[in-house]
Amino acid sequence: MRLPIIILTALVAGLPAFAQPYVRPEPINASNENFLLNKLKTSTGSDRAATMTALANLYVSKGIKSSADFQQADAYVHLSEETSLSFHQPALYNESQLFKCQLAVELQKSVLAEQIPPDADDSSKAIIYSAYAYFYMNTKGGDAAMNMQRSREYLDKASQLIDSVRSPRLYAALRESYGELLITQGKYRAAEPGLNKLIEGGRLNGNRQLQYVLLDLATLYFFQGKYDKALSTVLRALQSVKATNDSLAFADVYMFLGMIFRNTGQLEKALDNFNQSFEYYKIFTGYLFKYSDVIHQIGGVMVGRREYRRALQYYVGQYEKYPPLVADDKRVALGDIADCYLKLKQYDLAERHFLQEFKVAKQTGTLDERAFHRLAFFYVEAGKYWQALPFLDSAIRRLGPATEVQAKGHLYFMHYLADSAVGNYLSAMNYLRANKRVDDTLMDRSRQAEIQRLTVQYETDAKSRQIGLLQKSNDLYLANQRNAILIRDISIGAILVVGAVAFAFYRQYRNKNRLAATINDKNQQLEVLLDEKEYLLKEVHHRVKNNLHTVISLLDIQAEYLKDDALKALENSQHRIYAMSLIHQQLYAGDRVTSINLGAYIGELIVYLRESLGAANGPRFEVDIEPVDVDVSIAIPLGLIINEAVTNAVKYAFSERSDANSIGVEIRRSGNEILVHIWDNGIGLSDEGASGPESLGFKLMKGLCKEIDANLTFENRNGVHIWIRAPMNNPLN
C-alpha cells in the first residue's frame, strides 16, 4: 500500500512564504530598464538616489531572474541604501531596506546589521523594523527558534512606535505580521482570531485590500489540512483581488487555488490554475510564491496523473531554461527529478538525486524534517526499509507545531510500512493509528462535501463569466451585422461621391503639377541669380580691398616726402584704411557676404597694429575676444574705433618701456549687444574730463559710436579704460 504522490506537495516545495509585513512599493516593469540606466548617467543628488532605488525595485521585482539580475539587484539595493543616507532621503532609505530584506530571503543570505538613519522619524523606523522582522520570519538558514525570536523582537520595536505614528495602515500591517509569526511557529489557534478580526475590521471600514490577510488565513487552514476552509478563504481573496484590480496578486491566488485542488485530487483544475499563475509570475515575482514553485507544481500534477516520463522531460527542460540559482531552488529541482526516476523505477539515478538533495540541505544548514523525510521516502519506496528507519526517526524528531498535517500523516504511514517490513509490529500499529487520526482529519465527510460545493461554486462563477462574455460577443456580432448592412448602403453612395471627387482631384492634381513645374523652373532661375549675386558681391569686396590697398600704397609713396605731424597723420590714415580693407578681405575669403566674425577680424587687426606701430617689443597685448558674428555695418566702425584706441595707447600711454606695460582688448556678447573694453595701464589721460580729449582720434571714435548708436565711456583709472556698448545690428540700417 502506497500513499499517492499528491500528498508530497509541502515536502518538496517547503512551506509557502508569507505576505510581506509592509506595503511593498509598486513594482517597476523590466521594460523601463534602459530608460532608468540612461537617466542614471545624468542624474545627480537626490534624483540620483531615487533612480538607484527605482533600479533596485526593477531588478528585485523581476519575475524570472538570471544570475546577472541577482547581481544587479544586490548592487543597486546597496547603492540605493548608501545614496539615500548621504542625501537624507528617509523614504528612499525605507524602500531600500524593504528591497534588501526581500532579496535576502530570495538569495537565502544574511541581512546586514540594522542601520537606522539618524534623522528617521517613527514611521520610517517602524517600516524598517517590520522589514527586518519579515526577513527573520522567512529565512531558511540558521537556528529557527532564534530567527523567530529576532523576528518577534523587531515586531515589538515597531509596535512601540505605532501609537506615535497613528497610521491605521501601519497598524493593520503590524497586526498581520504578528499573525504570520504565530502561523510560522505553528500557533494556529492563537493566530486565527487576530486575522479574522483584521478581516472583519477592514470590511467594516470599507477596506477592499484584504487579499493578503485572507491568504495568511488560508495558509493557516492549509497547514492544518482544512482544505474546505482554505478553499473558501482563497476564493474570498480572489474576489478582493478582482475588486481592487490588484494584478500583482493574481499569481499568488491562482497558485494557492492550484495547490488546494492538487492536494484534494482535482488535478485538471490544479493544472489550469498553475498555468494562469505562471503567466503572471513571468512579469513580477509574487509575495507568496515564485515561478520555480509553479514549475514544481505543474510537474507534480503530471506525476499525479502517472505521466512519469513526460514529467521528467518537463522538469529537465524547464530547469535548463530557468536554472535554479539559490540552494533551496536547487534542492527542489533535484527532488523533482529524483521523484520521476523513482516512479520510473530507475533506482540508481533516483538514489543519486535524493542524496544530492540531502547534501544541499546539509551544506546550507537546513537539515530539517523535510530533508530527512525526503530521503526516508526514497528508501521506503525502493523497499530498503532498514535504511529508511533512521531517517524516519530523525524526521519525526524534527516535527513541530508548524509542520503541515499531510507531512505528519505521510511520515506515520511510512514508519508503519518500514516497521511492518522489519517485524516491529507493535511500533507499526502505533504509527498506523497516528496515520489514521490524520486521515480522519483530511477525509472528514463534511469537509469533502464543502470542498465539492465550493469547487462547483468556483466553476459556476467561471462559467457564468464565460456565458456573459459569450452573450456580449453575440450582441456585438449582431450589432456588427447591422452595421455591415448600413455600411454597405453608405459605401455604394460613397463610391459614387468619391468617384466624382476623385475626378475633380485628378484635374486639380494635373493643374497643380503644371504649376509646380513652372514654380520649380522659377526657383532654379532665382538660385542661379542668387549665386551670381553672391559671386558679384564677393568680387566687389575683392576689388574694394584691392583699391584700399592701392590707396595705402599711394600713401606710402607720399609718406616719403612728409615728416613730423603730416607724416603721423598720413600713417594714422593708412591704419584706418587697412582696418576697413581687412573687412572686405574676410568677406571675400569667407562664405558669408553680409556678416563678419569679430574674433578673426579684430585678432588680425591687432597683429597688424603691433607690427606696423613697432610695438612688437613694446607693451604686452592681452586680447580676449568672443567669436561673435556681427553685421558689416557694425564691424567696420568697431574696427576703426579699436584702431584709434590701440594706436593712441601704443603712442602715448607709456612714458618709458617696461615689461609691465599692457594693452588689453576684450569683446563680449551680452544679449543683443556687443560689449567692448579697451584699456592700458599707462600714465592715463590729462585733465580733459570724462568725455575724453578733443583730438582727431577721439572725435573720430565718438562720431563712429554715434553712427552705430553705441554708448562710449572713458575712465581714467590706473591708465585709460574705454567702454563701448553697441547693438548687434545697426539701428540706422
pLDDT band (50, 70, 90) for residue 338: very high
144-165 helix and 168-184 helix, angle to the nearest 10 degrees: 160
Q: Is the pLDDT of residue 549 over 70?
A: no
Average pLDDT over residues 20-47: 79
Do 31 and 173 have their domain in common? yes
In a domain, 174, yes or no: yes
- 569 in the same domain as 433: no
Segment 200-218 shows an average pLDDT of 77
pLDDT tens track for 262-275: 888 888 888 898 89
Rounded mean pLDDT of 661-671? 88
- Tell whether the model's pLDDT for residue 681 goes beyond 80: yes
- Determine contact, residues 556/578, Cβ cutoff 8 Å: no
- Domain presence at residue 448: no
Give the model's confidence band at 126: pLDDT under 50 very low, under 70 low, under 90 confident, else very high: confident
> Is residue 19 very low, low, confident or very high in pLDDT (cuts 50, 70, 90)?
very low
Q: Answer with the one of 396, 422, 443 that is the final residue of a domain.
A: 443
Measure CA of the first residue to CA of the last residue in the chain; give whole Å: 110
User: Residue 388's domain is classified under what CATH number?
Assistant: 1.25.40
pLDDT band for 372, please (50, 70, 90 cuts): very high
Domain count, the chain: 3
Supply the pLDDT for residue 56.
Answer: 86
70 pLDDT more than 60? yes
pLDDT at residue 14, as a whole number: 45
Strand pairing category for 711-716 and 673-680: unpaired
The string of pLDDT tens digits covering residues 279-327 is: 888 888 777 788 888 899 999 899 888 999 999 999 999 999 988 888 8
**Is 289 a domain residue?**
no
Asked whether residue 196 is assigned to any structural domain, the reply reads no
> Per the domain annotation, does 529 fall within a domain?
no
d(CA 123, CA 502): 71
Q: What is the mean pLDDT of the chain?
A: 78
129 lies in some domain: yes
**Residue 556: pLDDT over 80:** no
Q: Measuring CA to CA, how many Å separate 535 from each of 539, 585, 588, 637? A: 6, 14, 9, 25
The domain boundary residue, chosen from 409, 443, 477: 443
Q: Are 183 and 220 in contact (CB under 8 A)?
A: yes
Q: Which helix (H) or strand (E) holds 246?
A: none
Q: Which domain holds residue 163?
A: 17-185
Going by pLDDT thresholds of 50, 70 and 90, the confidence category of residue 180 is: confident
Output the domain CATH number for residue 718.
3.30.565.10
* Domain-embedded: residue 88: yes
The segment with the largest mean pLDDT, out of 141-150, 209-218, 418-427, 519-528, is 418-427
Residues making up the chain, counted from first to last: 733
pLDDT in tens, 40-66: 888 888 888 888 888 888 888 888 888
Alpha carbon distances (Å) from 272 to 269, 294, 304:
5, 11, 15
Answer whether residue 21 shows pLDDT above 50: no
Q: Which of 157, 185, 213 is the last residue of a domain?
A: 185
Indicate whether 720 belongs to any domain: yes
